[in-house]
Structures are given as structure tokens and as C-alpha cells.
Structure 1
Amino acid sequence: MKLAMRWHVVLIGFLLGTSGAFAADKPTPSTHAAQLAQRPGHAGIASANALATEAGFEVLAKGGNAFDAAIAVASTLSIVEPESSGMGGGFMATIHVAASDHNVFIDARETAPAAVDAKDYLNADGAPNRDTALKGPLAAGIPGEPAGLVWLAKHYGKLPLSESLAPAIRTARDGFKPDSRLLGSIKEEQKNIERWPASSDKFLPGGQPPADGEIWRDPDQAHTLELLGKYGDAGFYSGETAQKLVSAVREAGGKWTLQDLASYRVKERAPITVDYRGYKIITAPPPSSGGVAIAEILNILSGFDISKLDQVHRVHLVIEAMRRAFRDHNDYLGDPDFVKMPLDMLLSPYYADGLRQTILPDKATPSSMLAPSSGADPGMHTTHFSIIDADGNLVAITSTVNYVLGSTFVAKGTGILLNDEMDDFALVPNKPNVYGLLGSKANAPEPGKRMLSSMSPSIVIGPDRTAVIGSPGGSTIITQVLEGILAFIDGGDAHDVAAHKRFHHQYMPDTVMVEPGAFDAATTDALTRMGYTLKERSPWGFMNVVIWDRRTNKLDAASDPRREDGLGKVR
């Protein structure tokens, strides 16, 4: 009870008075002048699929920059990795433009259609209806990825959009051999795929998943990408493609309209920046919850020198910081165009100092002492890629269709697999979504609103090295990126950062998920005696990292060794 009272007093105190920490990113000449003049002279790309990584290099060889390469990687992933991302979903990007030394966050997150009705996602007893939230056309928000790629080409790229899309179009037309993850995803979702004729046509040729080693083609999506490359936004959000999308959705019981598509807009936002141990972390603002949580965790940890602690006490402090950040995630965050959030408070070092005082040195804080709630096991879908080009442009993009193979609904004649991002809203306040995350009315669905996301594409600039980092993984994205940043600050190379063993706590459930091998027996025993409940789970995530050592002007790229199909490459 004393701990709960102290938490309450600290929270009120820092609600009443905090200093601002969330502002437009402004270059500091004294800090960045040397970086502005320096160029790597070569490029690094790390993505979840070798074909996508090679597509990025192909576009660089044509005279493109990192932003053109990002279009090639993202569009190719839409073809070869549809279980995780694609043109029917959205993305979030944190980028650094070398010529102007400027950092930008690009929000191409999906939006709710105008006719959204929370009742569509409830059972008769008022409980969440997971089927309508996750499967079929009602599960899908208005896609943002096509508009985001057009935006990148128009505002930051050097090549015509059609040239950057060319590798994906060729791959879709000529075909490719699906990897084991895609084949496994199709088999996992086969019964849902069979509910929708166009989905069956795409993913179950001849009524069965593609055989291992079989060439698989996607001519409908190739045509959709050609229209996008030729007409830009109008090639997807109006005209032929839009008509096909809306017709397919409405015939299957969805509520999209042509106006929903025509109204979609990409948003540029100021990234969140936080300083930690001499490193500048540039990361995602709302409607991502990731950057706020990462900044809050790092602000809490900044009061300790965790580099000098034994593993048990270091892990203890990181878990407690995670617990408090996810508590705030659930209560406050949503679409900034719809919700007023206390970001100045959440990102304030003074607020972090107050939270730090509630951490006991040798004992876990039960989450029930902070507030009651419940949750579930987080999922492992979405994709991330990182790029640094020869001029020093940096791109961190996390893209998603949400759960495995999104809604499993393909719009006839388009090849576009639609997302199931409506589940990322708090469809029922304080009830967990598929990833176990809770939400309040701040993340309730409204027409045109963007659902909260855990995507955390990030850039880390240190005294001598720069990293571009991110990962898929549902709610674990936040903690994966956090732990990757800490591993980079501790001196790890790209492989070390991507391979770093992971643990995760998200406030509720009050359980620490631990990757096998992360802790030795003594650490596990000590944490258990401190009051933690540890639950081992299979490896998760698919981190892709590129690091620039500015002392040697060398690049280092790595894809997560937990998965066999990614490729991190320097050329």
C-alpha cells in the first residue's frame, strides 16, 4: 500500500509540473556539422528477404538513393512476404535526409473507414468479436503503404516511382520460390483463406498451398503496382484499383467507400528524440506508442549506470522501466489528430525521475500495484528494414498488415491482401487485443482515425557510430528495439545487435517473457526470488540493422539470425 501511495503522489506531482520534451527535430550545428560533411561512400541494406534486399541494391545501382531503395524493398516484400506486410497495409518510417541534416517521421498508418461502427466488433454479450476484428473486410483499415511509397518518391527520391517499383513488378510477373515462412503461414491460415474466393485463387492455386520449391506468381498485384507507378496516388486511391477494392470489400460485407480511399493522406510528423548516455535516439511519435515507451524507459534508466551492474540488477531495472512505460501506453496514447496526449509529461526527465523513485532496489513491483488489468501473448508479425546509402541518407521502415496474412481477405482483381489493423484499436476499452495490449478511449475507433501501433523504426546517433534499427513482433517491437539500442550503445556490431537475446514485459500480463538462453540458471533463480514470474518462449522478432562506423567510414548490416530468409548486405 505504501508503494501504491508513493506512486500516486509522484504521478500527481509530475502531472502538475513538467518540462517539454517533444518538439520538432532541429539539427544542432555543433553536433552534426561533421556528420553533414561525411559520407559512407557505399550502402548497406538489411531486410527480411534476400530478394527485397537485392531489389534495393538494384535501384541504388540505377542512381537511386536510400528512399528509392526503400520503395523497392517495401514493394518487393509485398510480393514475397505478404504474411507480414504489403500494399494492403501501412508503414511508419523514421528517416534522416543527409543533404539537409534533417530527421522526419513519415506516418503511412492505416485509417478507419468513415462508416466504422464499434458494434461490428462485439458479440451479443458485449465481448470482443475476434473474427470480425481479425478476418475479412471489416477487419481492414484504409491502406497507407501505397500513398507512403508515392510520398517517398515525390519528396525524397531521385528516380521515377515506376523505376523503383520495377523489381517488385518483375518478381510478381516472373515468379519466385516462396520461403518456408510464407508457406507455413499459408498452411496455418488455410481455413480462413478458403472463406474468400480471391484469397483462395492467390494463396491456394489448385486448392492447395504452393509446394516447396514451386514458382509462385502474382500477376494481379503486378498490374496494381504498374498502375501505382504510372499514376501515383490516383493509381491506387481512385480509378480502376479503387473501384475493385471497394466493390470487393462491400460485396463481402465491409463498409469501405471510394471517398474513404480518396481521402487518405500521408502525414509527416516530428520524430521523438531522446538523449541517453551521449547517444541521440530518433524514433517514432504517436500514432506509434513505441517511441514514447522507448524514450520513457531510457529516461528512467538514465538515473542508473546500468553498465556497471550485474546482470540480475540490470535486468531488474529494465523490466521495471518497461512495466511503467507500458502502463502509460495503455492509458494515454492514440492518434494525435484526434487525441490530446500529455507527451510533455510522459517524455519529461522529471516525470521519469518520479517513476524511478517507485522502483525498489531488490524487489519486483507487482503490476497490480500500479493498476489492474489483463493481457495475452504478443504476436510476431510485421516486417522491418534498414538502409544507409552512400550519401549518408538513413531509412528505418516498419511495415505491416498486422496479424499473419492480415485479414486473409484479397480484393478480387487487385492481388492486394488487406490488413486487419482494426484490431489495433481499443474496440472494447480495457480489453486486450490479439497482442495482449490494452487501450482506453484515446485509442477508440473513429472515422478517419489511425489506430495505435507498436512500430518503432529508429535511428541512433552516437559519438562515433550511427545505427538504423527496427523489428517486427507485435507489442514486443518496443522492447526488442530498446534492447537493440542498449546493445548498440554497449558496443555491439550489427550481428551482435540483431542476435541479442531478448526479454519482454508489457505491464499486463505480469509475466516476463524470456528467450531461451537469455538468462543463466543463477540469474533466473535470482529474478524469481525477487518476485518475477518468468515464462520461456521461442525466439521472436526479425530485427534488421545497419550500422555506420564513422571513424572507419565502414558499414555493417545484419538480418536477424533467428530467421533464415533475411539478408543484411553492404555493397
Structure 2
Amino acid sequence: MRLTTRLFALVFLFLPVVPLTAFAADGGEPPRQSLVAAQPPGAAIASAHDLATAAGFEVLEQGGNAFDAAVAVSAALSVVEPISSGLGGGGFFLLHDAASGRDVFIDARETAPAAATPDRYRDADGKLDRDRAQNGPWSAAIPGLPAGLVHVAEKYGRLPLGRSLAPAIRLARDGFPVYERLERGYAARREVMERYRGTRGVFLAGGKPPVTGQLLRQPDLARTLEALAARGFDGFYRGPVAKKLLDGVRAEGGRWTAGELAGYQVHEREPLRFDYRGWEIVTAPPPSSGGVALAQMLQVLGGWNLSKLDPAQRAHLTIESMRRAFRDRTFYLGDPGFVHVPVEMLASREYAAGLRATINPEKATPSDMFSGLPTPLEDEETTHFSIIDGEGNRAAVTQTVNLLFGSGLVPPGTGVLLNNEMDDFALLPGQPNAFGVMGYEANAPEPGKRPLSSMTPTFMVSPDRVAVLGTPGGSRIITMVLLGVLGYADGLDAQDVAALPRYHHQWQPDVVDAESGAFSDEVAARLRALGHTVKQPGDRVSGNASSHFWGNFQTVLWDRRAGELQGGTDPRNPVGKAEVRLRQGEPAAP
């Protein structure tokens, strides 16, 4: 489809395009990083589960670096957080190598099978078959996370892959205690989970669904991890494990091929970079939509000194920046291997200045003034972790299987719960997906194409401080990372950033969604007076009540001036853990 550029965007398309690093958002020069960077006093890891954080430190204590620890944490989360991520899904690894100063973005996003054409997702009335799009074999894309683990370990780690996977193998074999969120998530997806023999074999092994406190053992997953450890890429994508995956998908009516599995490739991409008020922001490029949107929002907001504004005015301007970034997300973003994504234009300082000029400081801009249709969404069941090691290497990693427990399908004998990322594509252009929103051809499925994502692993670097941050949360990931960046820019510590109350606007529907405590009664009233529709917990707007809380923010901070490390874990998640360990091995308070 030829994209029609809307009137407000046309004005700025003819401005000169300038590299992202050439300007500071407030009009100044980019920040100069210190030429003498002291090493951190130890290491810090923040993840969504204490067992995953412990796995990362176990590998660091064996001589591994942040990248080995990232493999360990990722694999451990794949075992203990099947509701959020796993070997059957994909993810993004944003890495910084301290010795070379290089940043790299590892794209291990899932890819569409050739058989997954749009006609496969039509029901008898020609509408989107929601069950097929979200559940079972047709909802599953080719997994990328195992290839990502191998790539990171072999190219950037110090330890053999087997050493980094050992904690996850142990957790899968010996089990871990079921926690309340896992029990609750299974109950929500039970009907789908229990359709499939392989899934019943894992989650009904004792004859009953998982219950908080009981041990969940996954021996088949342990054996799959052992194959990955022993044979690397071929241990998952070729050989016995691959055959079991293919047989399991075909037995349920799906159509994967051996060539699609064996042909999966990790892509290394150049991260996006831009400046915001003395911080260099390093973040995710397409097929993530998060980095481009973050660049747009922060560079729009860079025209105001937010710290000097009252809370209502600050929120108003922030919401208006969200509205504009999400509108562009809908029309322009997709897999850069398949569509042209005008990244330099969308993330440029000039384009942000043009967007800023359309904002009325005294009035909300109705979303229907920007012609178009709603934004594709990604579900909340994702996970993120952040790492800084004692050498200054760092990793920001966000990984997912999409919805709760992904597709619900475990091919027998693998222990691998497959994703349902096909629902992240615009399966039928103009047809609403499960969230009542629509997508277009830039994000339509094609063989080998990667679905658009909101995952936004991010670094912030200033002469004094270095932060690693990210979160799950579907389309809200982008706005949560935005608020986290603004929190660090305001001088908050890591735990305060992880705990920040959240609000979100995504252009369509034209509603500000807010957590409990995000706005005082006075601020909410002022936003409504400016023309915003504010939805808070208990309110019902368009038939849906707002959630009280969302996200699972994980962040670490190195204060280079003070010589301190901090970790921040989201207080909304009781099983998460942020931990700092000093070089001599003594624990430090996060």
C-alpha cells in the first residue's frame, strides 16, 4: 500500500534530514562523555524474578561478563516466567561493550512462517478469526530467542554456553515454586492451555493446574535447554528438538517447515541515538517501534523545561507528545527488511520541532484532527531485565511470547511454550484485532517478516550517570520508558524510577489511561478542562475500566561521580528482585 502522508506531516517532510546524533533536543551540543570512565564498584541486576537475578550473579561469580549474565537471566526467566517469555518466543538485546565503547542491538524477534498468509486468518464471514490468530499453531511465529542466546554467548560472552544455561537447566529440572501471578495467569488461559496434549503434560503433570507454592518441574524443557547448551543453534533449530517442534505444530494443524526453523537468523542492528538535555539516549531501532517513538516524544518535549512546569501542564505536554508519536507509529513502522521505514525523518530534531509547533499548550488536540485509524497493540505479557557488570558492560533485554502463555501450545517432548506473535501483525488490513484496533500493510505478514514490536530496551548516558531501563506492558512499554527517562532526567534514583506512577495515550482511542495515583484529583480535573478524556481505575470509558497498575519496570543505575550502583525493581511485582553486589562479593542495598 502506498502511504498517504497527512497534511501536518507534509510540512516537515521537505525539511533537511540530519543524523540523529547531530543535535541536542534543547538546541545545545551533544553531551561529551568522560574520557576517563571509572569502573563500577561491582555489578547490578534487576529482573522480574529473584531466581533469574540469582542466575545472573551465579554466572558473574564464575568469571562471566554482563553478556553471559544476560544469557543466564534470559534463560532462567524462560523457565520461571512462562506467562511472559520463553524459548518459544523472541526478544531484543541492547548491549554495551565497555572495552570498545560499542553499542549493538541484537534482534531475535520471531518471524512469520510462509504458510501464515492473511487468508488463513479469515472466518466464514471474512473477518479476523481471533481464535486462530491468538491460540494454537497458526498463532505461532518461528521462535528467535534460542538463536539470540547462542549469538550473544558466542560473540560477546566469555563462558561456554552450557555454563550460562546451567542455572536455567537446574530450575527446569528441579522445579521452582509457583507464584500467584502464574497461578492467576493459568486460570485466565486454562481453556486454551488444556486443548493441547503437550501443554497438559507440563502444566497438569500432577493432575491439577498450578497452585501457588507447589513446585513446577519441566523436565522436557530441561532437556531442550541441554540440547541448546551442547549443540548451540543446531540443538534447537535442527535435529531432534526441531523435529519435535515441527511434529507438534503439524499435529495440531499448523504448517511450519524444517527450512524455516533452520533458516532463522539473528540480526545485529545499529541502535538509535539522540540527545535529551545532557543525556545520550541509546535505544531500539525497527522492528521495534519504541525507539523511534521515544526519540519523537523526548525531542518534542525537549523544547520545554519540564522541571519548571506545574504537574498538570507537564502531563498535558507529555500526553500531546505521546499522541503524535503513536499516530506516526501506525502508518510508518514495520520490519525494515520488508518496508521502508523513514527513521531519520521521524526521529530527527527538525521533525520533532514541527510536531511541537502543532501542540497548543492550553488545549488538547483531538486525535480525530489527525486523519487515520487506530494503533496496533502488543499485549502486556512480556518481561525485561537490566544488567551492569564490574567492568561497565551493560545489557538491556526485553523478551516476550506475546499474550499470557503465548499460543498455549507446547509441542510434546519439548517443554517449549510457543508464542502467539502472529497476532502482532496486521493479519487483515482494516480488521480490528483482539484489542479493537487495526493495522496496515507496513505490518502485514510475509514469509520471514518480523512483527512490529513495542519493546524498548534503553540506555541513558551522561558524564555522571549511566542507566539501563525497560519494561513489559504492550504498547504502554513506550510511554513507561518515556516516563522513566524523564524521571532519571529529574534526578530520581533507580527505585523511584521503577515505582513511578504511569499514564498513557496512544492516539486512538483518544483517552488518557492512568494508573492509581498517577494524577491527583486536581491534576485530573485540569487535564479534563484542557479537553483530555482521562480514564482512571474505576472509570469506564468506551466500556472498559482502567487497570489499577501495569508494567514490570526493571532498571539499574551507575552513579559514576559517587562511585555507586543502584537497582530498581517494580514494586507492582512481588517476585522481582534488583540486587547490587560489590566487587568483593558483599551485598549492597539496592
**When the two structures are superposed, what TM-score results if normalisation uses the length of structure 2?**
0.92
Conserved in 1, the CA contact under 8 Å of 2:31 and 2:280? no
Aligned identity (percent) is 53
User: Equivalent residue for 1:500?
Assistant: 500
> For 2:566, which of 553, 556, 559 is the aligned residue?
556
Runs of 5+ unmatched residues, structure 1: 1-6
- Give 3-state SS (helix, strand or coil) of 1:106's partner: strand
SS of match in other structure, 1:416: coil
Q: Counterpart in 2 of 1:222?
A: 222
Which secondary structure state, in structure 2, belongs to the residue aligned with residue 31 of structure 1?
coil
Report the Cα offset of residue 18 of structure 1. 3.0
Q: 1:33 and 1:360, CA in 2 relative to 1: closer, same or farther beyond 3 A?
A: closer
User: How far has the Cα of 1:377 moved from its partner?
Assistant: 8.5
Amino acid at match of 2:571: P
Q: Deviations over 1:415-469 (max 9, x none)?
A: 0000000001111224443456542211100000000000000000123111100
C-alpha distance in 1, partners of 2:7/2:331?
Answer: 18
The letter for the 1-side match of 2:201 is D
What is the deviation of 1:80?
0.6
2 CA distance for matches of 1:516 and 1:13? 39
For structure 2, list consecutive stretches of 5 or more residues without a partner in the other structure. Answer: 23-28, 537-546, 582-590
- Cross-structure match for 1:120: 120
Structure-2 change in CA distance of 1:404 and 1:378 (3 Å): same
Does the Cα contact within 8 Å between 1:378 and 1:434 map onto a contact in 2? no
2:24 is aligned with 1:14: no
Structure 1 residue 207 displacement after superposition? 3.4
CA contact (8 A) 2:375 2:439 kept: no
1:100 is paired with a residue of what secondary structure?
coil
Return closer, same or farther for 1:438/1:487 CA change in 2, 3 Å cut-off: farther
2:289 is equivalent to residue 321 of structure 1 = no
Question: Is the CA contact 2:31–2:278 (under 8 Å) kept in the aligned structure 1?
Answer: no
Following superposition of structure 1 onto structure 2, how do residues 183-332 of structure 1 map, counting pairs within 5 Å?
183-332=183-332
CA gap of 1:467–1:192, structure 2 versus 1, over 3 A, is same
Q: Counterpart in 2 of 1:339? A: 339
Change (3 A) 1:376 1:296: closer
Check conservation: 1:386, 1:468, Cα contact below 8 A.
yes
Is 1:181 paired with 2:181? yes
Distance 2:442 2:115 in 1: 19
Deviation (angstroms), 1:166? 0.2
252 and 8 in structure 1: CA distance in 2 versus 1, 3 angstrom threshold: closer
Task: Give, in angstroms, the shift of residue 502 of structure 1.
Answer: 0.4
User: Residue 575 of structure 2 aligns with which residue?
Assistant: 565
Measured in 1, the distance between the counterparts of 2:114 and 2:516 equals 45
Q: CA deviation at 1:125?
A: 2.1
Q: What is the distance in 1 between the residues matched to 2:372 and 2:9?
A: 17
State the match for 2:351 in structure 1: 351
- Matched residue, 1:445: 445
8 Å CA contact 1:435, 1:475 repeated in 2: no
Secondary structure (helix, strand or coil) at the match of 2:396 reads strand
CA contact (8 A) 2:376 2:424 kept: no
Q: Deviations over 1:460-485 (max 9, x none)?
A: 01231111000000000000001001
1:10 Cα deviation after fit: 4.2
Query: C-alpha offsets along residues 82-139 of structure 1, whole Å, 9 cap, x if unaligned?
Result: 0000000001111111010011111000000122211111222222211111100100
Shift in CA distance, 494/171, structure 1 to aligned 2, threshold 3 Å: same
Query: What does residue 49 of structure 1 align with?
Result: 49
Question: How has the CA–CA distance of structure 1 residues 353 and 432 changed in structure 2, closer, same or farther, with 3 Å as cutoff?
Answer: farther
1:32 aligned residue: 33
Equivalent-residue separation in structure 1 for 2:578 and 2:45 (angstroms): 6
Query: Map of 1:158-169 to 2, 5 A cutoff?
Result: 158-169=158-169
CA deviation profile, 1:496-522 (whole Å, cap 9, x unmatched) = 100000000001111100011111111
Cα 1:516–1:547 shift into 2, 3 Å: same
Instruction: Give distance in 2, aligned partners of 1:564 and 1:520.
Output: 25
CA contact (8 A) 1:286 1:334 kept: yes
User: 1:374 deviation in Å?
Assistant: 4.2
Aligned-partner Cα distance in 1 for 2:385–2:318: 26
Is contact 1:330-1:437 (8 Å) kept?
no
Asked whether 1:546 is paired with 2:556, we answer: yes
Provide the C-alpha distance between the structure 2 equivalents of 1:33 and 1:365, rounded to a whole number of angstroms.
Answer: 41
Alpha-carbon distance in structure 2 between the residues aligned to 1:384 and 1:307: 28
1:3 corresponds in structure 2 to none
